[in-house]
Amino acid sequence: MDEQQFVQLLEGLMEPDTERVKSATSTLNKNYYNSPASLNALLQILCGHPKPQLRQLAAVEARKLVTKHWANLPADQKNSLRNQLFQFTLNEDVTLTRHSAARVIAAIASQDFEDGEWADLPGYLQQAATSSEARHREVGTYIIFTTLESAGDSFPGKQADLYKLFSSTIQDPESVDVRINTMLSLSRLAMLLEPDESPKELAMFQESIPGMVTVLKATVDEGDEDHAMQAFEVFQTLLGCESALLSKHFGDLIKFMLELASSTSIEDDYRSQALAFLMQCVRYRKLKVQGLKCGEELTLKALHIVTELGDLSSEDEDVTPARSALGLLDILAASLPPSQVVIPLLKNLGNYFSSPNPDYRQAGILASVCVSRVPPTSLLPSCTRFSPWFSTCSKIPRSRFAALPSTVSLAWPTTLLRMSARSTPSSFLP
């Protein structure tokens, strides 16, 4: 193949000229990408070209061709490319290119592992992840993550060895990237874990949870938004895995996330993420939440956060802690027994309705909408006590609720008011 023209065509893909990009793409697909030699050429460019933009592009293109051509390359050429690619990735300075190269390694490893090849890669990754050089630890843990993501169960060796490694890397003293990569890797292992079949691995995973919480807390405290969002995403992922993985620390996790959500000293994005986690907990682990009897605390903390909502007439629809807290109240009312949510809510609404602070009065009115999520008969014993508040709510124009987030029910609690009329003096009624 004409290597000079090949490079020129790749450079053409980076041009702002749409027609040139189309022409280069067509020529590459027709004359080059149908040959295994193109994959070898791309990997050579990735590992050796002086332009970082071209190295990055070569990584992206090579990854697309791995499944098509890797198996057809000569064995000795593949051995050379594996070593060359791994060493390049360890020492690449540009983060984006380094990560793209790591994904090429993962794509190759995914095929190799199925064919019983590249058996020494896990050993190389272990060495890199425990290197005295932080850069090598970052690369090693990231390749482990991407390879677990790509290869899944075909990743060779014992998972117990990975858990042992991660118990160290989750506490890396220098690099937050190593700690976050470890969390990402643990989330992939969580997806593969079968608790009934692997009790030892289950116990090892559960032991990793406090370390993961420590990493999340540190990123929040330091205002490290990118890494904090990755850490939050890991915990969201874990909620979709087997419930046994989080069961040992589930109550502590709820308490920790509630503390984050309630703290006005941290960024609103972090608080909203914590509230999103709590909503998912109630939605997908409602029996566990109910058993912990934490519904009342969640309800009252969420009610207080709603006081931060501000002007309802604002057209700003961004996610905020107050809007998320309204969503949490709605899910709580719909998912947990009235004794844990609606009754504690009603017991505290009086203080909000009578507050001299209009933000508190507004929060009380908005939160009372959640009462409509509960069957009226379940509140019959409380109707006499709370009917004045239902009456107050019924006098508020519906237009005041027009700006409610879509997660909050707009049903009007007139049923409760009518129900309370059967056991309430008429002087309470409008």
According to the model, what pLDDT value does residue 107 have? 97
Per-residue pLDDT tens for 353-380? 888 999 998 898 888 877 666 665 555 5
390, part of any domain: yes
- How many Cα atoms are found within 13 Å in the side-chain-facing hemisphere of 310? 9
According to the model, what pLDDT value does residue 220 have? 97
Q: What are the DSSP calls for 197-263, one per residue? A: T-HHHHHHHHHHHHHHHHHHHHHHHTT-HHHHHHHHHHHHHHHTS-THHHHTTHHHHHHHHHHHHH-
- How many Cα atoms are found within 13 Å in the side-chain-facing hemisphere of 304? 12
- 3-state DSSP assignment of residue 171: coil
Are 10 and 3 spatial neighbours (Cβ–Cβ below 8 Å)?
A: no
360, part of any domain: yes
Could you tell me if 271 and 374 lie in one domain? yes
For residue 378, how far is the Cα from the chain centroid? 36
Could you tell me if 286 and 397 lie in one domain? yes
According to the model, what pLDDT value does residue 304 have? 96
According to the model, what pLDDT value does residue 319 have? 86
Tokens 């000569």 sit at which residue? Answer: 74
Could you tell me if 425 and 304 lie in one domain? yes
Per-residue pLDDT tens for 277-317? 999 999 999 999 999 999 999 999 999 999 998 876 556 67
Could you tell me if 155 and 284 lie in one domain? no
| More confident: 331 or 369 | 331
How many of the other CB atoms lie within 10 Å of CB of 190?
19
Q: Is the pLDDT of residue 201 over 50?
A: yes
63, part of any domain: yes
Q: Is the pLDDT of residue 183 over 90?
A: yes
Positive or negative torsion for Cα 329, 334, 336, 337: positive
Per-residue pLDDT tens for 203-253? 999 999 999 999 999 999 999 999 999 999 999 999 999 999 999 999 999
What's the mean pLDDT in 249-277?
A: 97
According to the model, what pLDDT value does residue 68 have? 95
| More confident: 396 or 98 | 98
Tell me how far apart the alpha carbons of residues 66 and 259 are, in angstroms, rounded to a whole number: 46
Residue 15 DSSP symbol: S
231, part of any domain: no
| More confident: 410 or 347 | 347
Q: Which of 59-68, 92-101, 189-198, 340-349 has the lowest mean pLDDT?
A: 340-349
Are 389 and 347 spatial neighbours (Cβ–Cβ below 8 Å)?
A: no
For residue 276, the domain's CATH number is: 1.25.10.10
Could you tell me if 260 and 390 lie in one domain? yes
Could you tell me if 156 and 258 lie in one domain? no
229, part of any domain: no
According to the model, what pLDDT value does residue 426 have? 39
According to the model, what pLDDT value does residue 399 have? 41
163, part of any domain: yes
363, part of any domain: yes
According to the model, what pLDDT value does residue 382 have? 55
What's the mean pLDDT in 141-159?
A: 93
Could you tell me if 264 and 412 lie in one domain? yes
Total residue count of the chain as it appears in this document: 430
According to the model, what pLDDT value does residue 342 have? 87
Q: Is the pLDDT of residue 118 over 90?
A: yes
Q: How confident is the model at residue 408 (pLDDT cuts 50, 70, 90)?
A: very low
Average pLDDT, the chain: 87
Q: Is the pLDDT of residue 425 over 60?
A: no
27, part of any domain: no
Report percent pLDDT > 70 for the chain: 85
Could you tell me if 294 and 424 lie in one domain? yes
- 3-state DSSP assignment of residue 319: coil
For residue 152, the domain's CATH number is: 1.25.10
Maximum mean pLDDT: which of 9-23, 161-175, 334-348, 404-418: 161-175
Residues near 283 by beta carbon (within 8 Å), at least 6 away in sequence: 331, 335
According to the model, what pLDDT value does residue 383 have? 53
Are 309 and 359 spatial neighbours (Cβ–Cβ below 8 Å)?
A: yes
Q: Is the pLDDT of residue 66 over 90?
A: yes
Q: Is the pLDDT of residue 422 over 70?
A: no
Among 185, 217, 233, the domain-final residue is: 185
Per-residue pLDDT tens for 18-48? 999 999 999 999 999 999 999 999 999 999 9
Could you tell me if 307 and 416 lie in one domain? yes
According to the model, what pLDDT value does residue 105 have? 97
Counted domains in the chain? 2
Angular region, 118: left φ>0, alpha ψ -120 to 50, beta rest: left
- 3-state DSSP assignment of residue 94: coil
Helix count and strand count (H, E) for the chain = 22, 0
DSSP H or E run through 311: none
Could you tell me if 47 and 164 lie in one domain? yes
DSSP H or E run through 363: helix 358-368
* Residue range(s) defining the domain that contains residue 418: 252-430
Could you tell me if 416 and 282 lie in one domain? yes
Are 37 and 1 spatial neighbours (Cβ–Cβ below 8 Å)?
A: yes
Q: Which of 69-78, 89-98, 175-184, 311-320 has the lowest mean pLDDT?
A: 311-320
Could you tell me if 132 and 265 lie in one domain? no
Tell me how far apart the alpha carbons of residues 151 and 115 are, in angstroms, rounded to a whole number: 12
Tell me how far apart the alpha carbons of residues 68 and 91 are, in angstroms, rounded to a whole number: 27
CA angle at residue 319 from 317 to 325, to 5 degrees? Answer: 115
Residues near 52 by beta carbon (within 8 Å), at least 6 away in sequence: 94, 97
